[in-house]
Amino acid sequence: MDKLITIIVMLIIASLILIVVFAQNTFTGSTIVDLENHYSFTKAICNETHYCEDYEFVCQGPKTISKTPISGSAVQFNGNWEDYRDTKIINKECE
């Protein structure tokens, strides 16, 4: 009976070691690959009445994951206001 218990304990320990070794390699590799093209930026979006609000864009490569307004960052400009930003910046999206 003692031999059986010893064998079972050894098998459990060996299984745990294998799980830890292979799981760590898999999880670490996946995390690095997933974060490789993950980035964010902020941009003000303005409408035709010159109401502008900052947004945070979260990107995964060229795909937009989320576009969230940043609270407290909205402003209403007067009718004579002109957006002097470059068109490239105004139209920027995830790349």
Domain ranges of the chain: 1-36, 37-80
Is the pLDDT at 29 greater than 70? The verdict is: no
> pLDDT by residue (tens digit) across 40-86?
999 999 999 999 999 999 999 899 999 999 988 899 999 899 999 99
Percent of the chain with pLDDT strictly greater than 90: 46
- Neighbouring residues of 12: CB distance < 8 A, sequence distance ≥ 6: none
> Across residues 14-37, what is the average pLDDT?
66
How far is 89 from 95, CA to CA, in rounded Å?
Answer: 13
Instruction: Provide the whole-model pTM.
Output: 0.60
